[in-house]
């Protein structure tokens, strides 16, 4: 069936397209002019098997097109990690010839940057057989890539929500692989991969806790997720031990209903949430009001987790 547009209708559509393009330009321009929002995302992608280590810079369109072209005649395995900039949209594809960064039966359970700028990921195996699974590991995405096996976890536990602290430590959250509590805050030895509990902060045994963020003033934040995905912003105060609930997260007056993928604090102390409401795609970055829990959508970002890029 053919449709015809009147000159007026065509003009309205053209104007709408111009407005949207202008808004997109202004958003990217504002992000580019705000160094404190230097955010990088990470996700996995089917990668061509090669015999060399590769860290290639592409844009997301090129990545999709090249993957599609190579899928017919090349051996492809989901072992690649893709780093993407929120500001520029540019992506870096990472592979390692000696050790796959991500196997088909593994998940990316944590992502952060250390105080020196090194990006770190936590990779957790998903048990699909009764055989003993590959141990959880943390991988430092430097040159060269460095990997440590995490020790101190039970077989049913998962390390996630990594956070590189202002004072140079690496901490995270340990809970069950199925996402159920209890959850504990742990310190991760950067030399050995051994974890140890941080006893200064205690969570309730029935709370689902995820995501960690630290602002420049040293205050830690996390999120508590209810049975229906309702998400509450929480401040962690080592002096009080018990977490301080700040407010339920919401967008345009509607309660957030799907937990978060990441929680990040910018260099200027602005708290940023990352995720999507239930049944919605893609994920997006939101500015969070720490006092009210109100979230303002900043920009869509089609990736898995985010962190702040440091110099």
Alpha-carbon distances of 195 from 32, 173, 184, 190, 268, rounded to whole Å: 37, 10, 11, 10, 30
Q: Which residue has better confidence, 172 or 80? A: 172
Q: Which residue has better confidence, 113 or 28? A: 113
Q: Is pLDDT of 183 > 90? A: yes
Q: Which residue has better confidence, 134 or 144? A: 144
In sign, the C-alpha dihedral spanning 127, 209, 198, 138 is positive
The pLDDT > 70 percentage for the chain reads 71
List the Cα angle 158/272/138 in 5-degree steps.
Answer: 30
Round to whole Å and give the CA distance between 306 and 110: 9
* Residue entry with tokens 């536990």: 157
> Would the pTM of this model clear 0.75, i.e. be above it?
yes
Summarize pLDDT for 190-244 with one digit per residue, the tens. Answer: 999 999 999 888 888 888 999 999 999 999 999 999 988 899 999 997 676 678 9
Q: Which residue has better confidence, 78 or 142? A: 142
Summarize pLDDT for 70-113 with one digit per residue, the tens. Answer: 323 334 344 568 889 988 888 888 766 666 688 888 889 999 99
What would the two tokens of residue 245 be?
């609930």
* Residue entry with tokens 């962690």: 236
What's residue 156's pLDDT? 87
Average pLDDT over residues 28-43: 65
Banded pLDDT at 166 (limits 50, 70, 90): very high
What would the two tokens of residue 248 be?
């339920």
- Look at residues 241, 203, 238, 199 and name the one whose alpha carbon lies nearest to residue 224: 203
Q: Which residues pair with 264 in a beta bridge?
A: 272
The count of C-alpha atoms lying within 13 angstroms of the C-alpha of 108, restricted to the half-sphere facing its C-beta, is 25
Q: Is pLDDT of 28 > 60? A: no
Please give the backbone phi and psi of residue 5, each rounded to the nearest 5 degrees, phi first: -105, 135
Summarize pLDDT for 283-297 with one digit per residue, the tens. Answer: 999 999 999 999 999
Q: Which residue has better confidence, 8 or 263? A: 263
| Cβ atoms 44, 81 nearer than 8 A | yes
Q: Is pLDDT of 121 > 90? A: yes
Summarize pLDDT for 103-113 with one digit per residue, the tens. Answer: 888 889 999 99
């Amino acid at each position: 069936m053919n449709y015809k547009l009147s000159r007026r209708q065509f003009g309205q559509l053209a104007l709408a397209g111009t407005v949207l393009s202008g808004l997109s330009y202004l958003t990217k321009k504002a992000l580019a002019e705000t160094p404190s929002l230097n955010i990088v995302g990470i996700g996995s992608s089917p990668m061509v098997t090669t015999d060399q280590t590769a860290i290639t810079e592409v844009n997301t369109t090129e990545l999709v097109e090249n993957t599609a072209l190579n899928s017919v005649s090349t051996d492809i395995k989901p072992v690649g990690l893709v780093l993407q900039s929120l500001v520029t949209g540019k992506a870096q594809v990472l592979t390692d010839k000696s050790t796959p960064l991500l196997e088909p039966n593994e998940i990316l359970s944590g992502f952060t940057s250390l105080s020196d700028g090194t990006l770190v990921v936590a990779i957790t195996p998903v048990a699909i057989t009764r055989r003993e699974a590959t141990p959880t590991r943390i991988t430092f995405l430097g040159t060269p890539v460095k990997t440590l096996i995490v020790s101190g976890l039970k077989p049913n536990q998962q390390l996630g929500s990594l956070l590189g602290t202002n004072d140079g430590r690496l901490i995270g959250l340990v809970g069950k692989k199925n996402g159920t509590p209890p959850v504990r805050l742990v310190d991760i030895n950067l030399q050995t991969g051994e974890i140890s509990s941080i006893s200064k902060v205690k969570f309730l045994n029935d709370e689902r806790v995820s995501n960690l963020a630290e602002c420049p003033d040293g205050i830690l934040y996390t999120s508590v997720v209810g049975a229906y995905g309702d998400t509450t912003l929480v401040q962690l105060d080592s002096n009080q031990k018990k977490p301080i609930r700040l407010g339920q997260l919401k967008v345009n007056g509607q309660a957030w209903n799907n937990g978060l993928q990441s929680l990040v604090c910018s260099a200027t102390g602005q708290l940023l949430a990352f995720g999507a409401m239930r049944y919605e795609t893609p994920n997006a970055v939101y500015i969070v009001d720490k006092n009210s829990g109100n979230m303002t959508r900043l920009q869509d970002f089609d990736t898995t987790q985010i962190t702040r890029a440091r110099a």
